[in-house]
Structure 1
Amino acid sequence: MDTNALQAFVAVAEAGSFSRAAEQLFLTQSAISKRISLLEQQLNSRLFDRIGRRINLTEAGQNLLPRARRILMELADARRSLESLSGEVAGTLSIAASHHISLHRLPPILRQFANDCPNVTLDLRFDESEIAYDNVLKGNLEIALITLSPHPDENILAQTIWQDKLRYVIAPDHPLAQLDSVSLEQLTRYPAILPGSTTFTRQIAQHQFSELGLSPDIAMSTNYLDTIRMMVEIGLGWSLLPETMTQPLKVLNTNTPPMTRDLGYIVHKERTLSNAARYFIDLLQRQDR
């Protein structure tokens, strides 16, 4: 079975498009189609249903996908394991970081890594935590720097590097700003601006309200915390933000248990890490928490 054909199959399945898969693999669409056709011939099974412009995995394709990912991951692991024998820190390091970590935590670490490891090519992506998490789980990335999931998959190894204290905030001229303390029930009477419902940060916030049988009035959602801070500042609603991002907002006293979110890195438990990945993780673990 041709590994290039397997790689094309996984790319098409994940992208949901032959053209997008071709862009990701730097191939022509016809080359992708030929690889898929070859794989279908070898397996004597149709892997995709093509209906108009939409494609869907057949039952055979659904069965093959996790196995194809595992084969490609094991081949990549074997390659990295052999390369690591030399002890040289070189090659390509595939890594993703959330937007918040990229802006507020990552720059000094990247600078140090680039200075210490000039022979490493960084394949660096800036993704939402949940997308980066999924790509590590699928074997597309060695490391992701993200807001850690409250309920990680059993195949994910997560390590906390930083911890954000989370605080409820409003604009200084908001009607609640003059109160000595504000209950969560009072907050539900006003519009909230929070990250999307699928984000790990939103899950943390939602949990505190759910325990009291409450539900915040979500007026707007965006996954960019700097944008949320701007919208709170101009009076569009209240939010829950890291303590390091509360200026120039008014921090509310809600008399609730303190909330934190863990930031750190994740890797796949079954993936052999390259020397470059190990060096990068060592830099992370030297950080003050």
Structure 2
Amino acid sequence: MENFLDLKKLNTFVKIAESGSFYKASMMLGYSPAAVSIQIQQLEVDLGMRLFDRLGKQVRLTDHGKQFYPYAEKILMLNEEAKESLIRTDDMLTGELRIGTIDSICDTLFPQVLAEFYEKNPNVNVEVRVCTPSELFEGIKHNNIDIMLLLDKPSVSKDFVADIQMETEVVFCASRNHPLACKNEIELSEILSYPCILTEKNASYRYILESKLSELGLGIKPSIESQNTNLIIKLLCNNMGYSLLPRFLIEPKLRDNTLAVLPIKDFHIKVNYQVLHKKDKFVNRQMESFINMLEKQAGILQVSNP
């Protein structure tokens, strides 16, 4: 069993476990499918146990494979940590950074930080995935994403580390020319009678809205639904209805007096802007640098939107 610590074999094993496919793992690693199969066969011989059940095109970890997976992951992580410790802190960053986020953050907060990161670290290969919250959690769980950014209820899972956790207000908003924009206080039942534009069903703050309305025996039916927050904001600016959005996303339009917050009586919603990574994952220099930039941005948002 002395050869089972071959890092190349361990990396191949982890990639297959995460992707559920020998073929997908070969594409990620740049090997031929035959080479991947040979590496796993050798690893299974070295360990003296079967790691995968191959059921046609489906691949599943055996009980031994499930037991071995966290150890393989830790060994690879420690290898990265050891290499990182030998790099001088003033050396230019290289490697890759895989970021997952939701559409509303990708359209608004993300471009500024990404541009700053690229300017300072042009040799880091950045991969950005725009996903639903459930897809983000699945991606980070299987180590396909290094850092994820989302708007949701506070994460209490022991599987994740919260690098940033910032509560933010979600508001009803509309064009300054909307019939309700001149009112100092609006009854909830009144605004529900007007056309609205909402994010896709089950998106975090829409889900919270519909849950609260359901408790009050009320409902809401949007005239337009879109996961693209920029599109929603543009439609609002054209006075095509009202929406419910995190305040920081529309702050520029509030400042230039294009949009207005609609003051709904006794109705408040808040979500958390969160940056998370997988617990026990080694935070490399590129992750640390990007998280630091996000923390700086979050600090500015908190000051401007208390």
Does the 8 Å CA contact 1:80/1:273 hold for their aligned counterparts?
no
What's the offset of the Cα at 1:150? Answer: 1.9
Deviations 1:63-83 (A, max 9, x none): 333333233222222222332
2:21 to 17, 20, 40: 17
For residues 11 and 182 of structure 1, do their structure 2 counterparts lie closer, same or farther at Cα, with a shift above 3 Å needed?
A: farther
Residue aligning to 1:128 = 131
Farther off after superposition, 268-277 or 279-288: 268-277
Farther off after superposition, 30-39 or 238-247: 238-247
Does the 8 Å CA contact 1:96/1:143 hold for their aligned counterparts?
yes
Tell me which amino acid in the other structure corresponds to 1:273: V
Farther off after superposition, 243-252 or 271-280: 243-252
Does the 8 Å CA contact 1:81/1:274 hold for their aligned counterparts?
no
1:103-252 to structure 2, matched below 5 A, reads 103-118=107-122, 120-128=123-131, 130=133, 131-147=135-151, 149-160=153-164, 164-168=168-172, 181-183=186-188, 193-195=198-200, 197=202, 200-202=204-206, 204-205=208-209, 208-209=212-213, 212=216, 223-226=227-230, 240-243=244-247, 244-245=249-250
SS state of the match for residue 151, structure 1?
coil
Residue aligning to 2:277 = 267
Does the 8 Å CA contact 1:128/1:223 hold for their aligned counterparts?
no
Q: CA RMSD in A?
A: 4.2
Residue aligning to 1:33 = 37
Tell me which amino acid in the other structure corresponds to 1:41: V
For residues 207 and 3 of structure 1, do their structure 2 counterparts lie closer, same or farther at Cα, with a shift above 3 Å needed?
A: farther
Q: Distance in 2 between matches of 1:259 and 1:132?
A: 23
Residue aligning to 2:93 = 90
Alignment of 1:278 onto 2:282 = no
> Where do 5+ consecutive residues of structure 1 fail to align?
none
Farther off after superposition, 176-185 or 97-106: 176-185
| TM-score (structure 2 length as normaliser) | 0.70
Tell me which amino acid in the other structure corresponds to 1:208: K
Q: Distance in 2 between matches of 1:168 and 1:259?
A: 10
What's the offset of the Cα at 1:96? Answer: 0.6
What's the offset of the Cα at 1:216? Answer: 6.1
SS state of the match for residue 157, structure 2?
coil
Does the 8 Å CA contact 2:124/2:286 hold for their aligned counterparts?
no
Q: Distance in 2 between matches of 1:213 and 1:50?
A: 51
> Where do 5+ consecutive residues of structure 2 fail to align?
302-306
Does the 8 Å CA contact 1:77/1:272 hold for their aligned counterparts?
yes
Tell me the percent identity.
25
What's the offset of the Cα at 1:280? Answer: 2.8
Does the 8 Å CA contact 2:166/2:272 hold for their aligned counterparts?
yes
Residue aligning to 1:3 = 7
Q: Distance in 2 between matches of 1:235 and 1:63?
A: 57
Q: Distance in 2 between matches of 1:39 and 1:11?
A: 14
Q: Distance in 1 between matches of 2:75 and 2:211?
A: 38
